[in-house]
Amino acid sequence: MRDVYIAGMGQTRIGELWDRSLKDLAVEAALKALAEAQATTADCLIVGNMLSGELASQENLGVFVADSAGLTPVEAVKVESACSSGGAAFREGYLRVASGAAESALVVGVEKMSDLLPDAVSSGLALAADGDSENLHGATFVALNALIMRRYMHENGYKHEDFSGFAINAHRNAASNEDAMFPRAVTAKDYAKSCMVASPINLLDSSAISDGAAAVLLSARPKPGVRPIRVTGSGAATDTIAVAARKDPLWLSAAEASARRAFAQAGLKPEDVDLFELHDAFCIMAALSLEAGGFAPRGKGVRLAMEGEIGPTGKVPIATRGGLKARGHPVGATGVLQIVDAAVQLRGGAGASQVPGARVAMTQNIGGSGSSVYTHILAAGD
């Protein structure tokens, strides 16, 4: 497998974008990534998306984006892996270039969620859970995460307020990201009085229904004139789709396995990582991801937040541009947004939330309640 470079990238603003369609979002991100790389097309187009059929009345999405962006007859396909669809699309593009099957791959992650009522969106997202044992019984994703968080608090002796650091860090970092959905700070007091969604998960524990897109052009050649960014590790793994079927609902075994594969490929360890763009769809997922990734012992992920070690100058900077929580979580786009956020950091362009001297970044995109996980490691410089 040869080196793969990020030759260009782009994203839209993230938010409830009432005036932008699925097409508008995907095309804006795709053309920005091509323009930055001074390219007009790629050998293939891989689109990461979960719910275009259910929420935006469009399947055949690879062709739809290719055609809308003026890229036909390029080979184009949609990849779906629930909330990790963006990470799955990125891995697919990465493998094509790394293996020599293509010289370049344009990866676009997109989701348009706000055109339907929130109930319909929750029903759509619930399709990532097990139809027979979870979805059929009305368990939404916030409900499943609430069960996990309650158990985690019980087993490890945490109070709800102990998780506030995750929301505070994400929002503080989003404040300097002009594309973020919620670019404003929140306090521990805001967190404490935030309305309950599914106990113990409150509004500030949760990412929001979002619209947005992101794109990267992967190439076998670095972009001239800027600091090269290489993909040095890529790992994917799955776990049971139903949370109740797991031996241990508090351990993200697919996150552990995919991170182990990415670390092995990159020849790195957790302590080599300068920032970790993890999948903080809910605060509990941030805690579990830190543990599964090897950044904290089991049951101790929350302590990193409590001790102020997840900020840009901490031991394990996370959500450095706002994360899913505050940058926004347009589900099919999220895995690609994480790559863009990591690359912005490695280029030194993150402003007030810049991680000093960042050279190695890890991203991790989770589908379902930890059932499908994609981990990538990026490195700055040759």
- 160 is a catalytic site residue: no
Please report, for residues 106, 152, 277, 289, the alpha-carbon distance to residue 374 in angstroms, rounded to integers and kept in the order given.
18, 23, 12, 12
Residue nearer to a second copy on the CB measure, 19 or 271: 19
Q: Between 92 and 309, whose beta carbon lies closer to a second copy?
A: 92
Contacts (CB under 8 A) with a second copy, residues 304-333: none
Stretch that binds a second copy, among 179-187, 239-247, 294-302, 353-361 (CB under 8 A): 239-247
Question: Minimum Å distance from CB 332 to a second copy?
Answer: 11
Choosing from 83, 279, 283, 376, the catalytic residue is 83
For a second copy, the closer CB: 38 or 72: 72
Out of 240, 320, 354, 364, the only residue in the binding site for a second copy (CB under 8 A) is 240
Provide the b/e sequence for 292-326 (b: ≥16 CB within 10 Å): bbbbbeebebbbbbbeebbbbebebbbbbbbbbbb
CB of 38 or CB of 99, closer to a second copy: 99
CA 39 to chain centre: 26
Q: Which is nearer to a second copy, 30 or 346 (CB)?
A: 30
CA dist., res. 295 & res. 270, Å (int): 6
Give every CB contact of residue 193 below 8 A, 6+ residues apart in sequence: none
CA 379 to chain centre: 18
Euclidean distance between CA atoms 300 and 285, whole angstroms: 13
What is the nearest approach in angstroms of a second copy to the Cβ of residue 73?
4
Q: How many residues sit close enough to a second copy to count as binding (CB under 8 A)? A: 60
> Residue 106 in contact with residue 34, Cβ under 8 Å?
yes
Q: Does the footprint of a second copy cover residue 115 (CB under 8 A)?
A: no
The stretch near a second copy (CB under 8 A) out of 107-115, 187-195, 220-228, 366-374 is 366-374
Q: What's the closest the beta carbon of residue 62 comes to a second copy, in angstroms?
A: 6
Half-sphere exposure of 305 (CA within 13 A, CB side): 29
Q: 3-class DSSP state for residue 104?
A: strand
Q: Give dist(CA 149, CA 201) in Å, integer.
A: 8
Nearest approach in angstroms of CB 277 to a second copy is 20
Closer to a second copy by Cβ: residue 354 or 371: 371
Nearer to a second copy among residue 239 and residue 280 (C-beta)? 239
* Segment near a second copy (CB under 8 A); pick from 92-100, 298-306, 309-317, 319-327: 92-100
Q: Is 137 a known active-site residue? A: no
DSSP secondary structure, 233-301, as one string:
EEEEEE--SSGGGSS-TT--HHHHHHHHHHHHHHT--GGG-SEEE---SBHHHHHHHHHHTTSS-TT-H
Compute the distance between CA of residue 372 and CA of residue 80 in angstroms, rounded to an integer. 11
> Which residues 197-236 are close enough to bind a second copy by CB under 8 A?
236
- Residue 290 CB, shortest distance to a second copy, in Å, is 20
Using CB under 8 A as the binding rule, whether residue 238 contacts a second copy is answered as: yes
88 binds a second copy (CB under 8 A): yes
CA-to-CA distance for 106 and 46, rounded, in angstroms? 6
| Token couple for 235 | 């790992």
Give me the least distance between CB of 363 and a second copy, in Å please.
17
What contacts 174, CB < 8 A, 6 or more positions away? 180, 181, 182, 183, 184, 321, 322, 323, 325, 326, 327
Rounded CA-CA distance 179/365 in Å is 20
- Please identify which of the residues 160, 171, 279, 329 carries the catalytic annotation: 329
Q: Tokens 């097309």 identify what position?
A: 41
Of 168 and 209, CB closest to a second copy? 209
Site string for a second copy, 39-78 (x = CB under 8 A): -----x-----xx-xx-xxxxxxxxx-xx----xxxxxxx
Q: How far is the CB of 248 from a second copy (least distance, A)?
A: 14
Site for a second copy, rule CB under 8 A? 1, 23, 44, 50-51, 53-54, 56-64, 66-67, 72-82, 88, 92, 95-96, 98-101, 124, 127-132, 135, 236-242, 245, 253-254, 257, 367-368, 371-372
Q: Which residues does the annotation mark as catalytic?
A: 83, 329
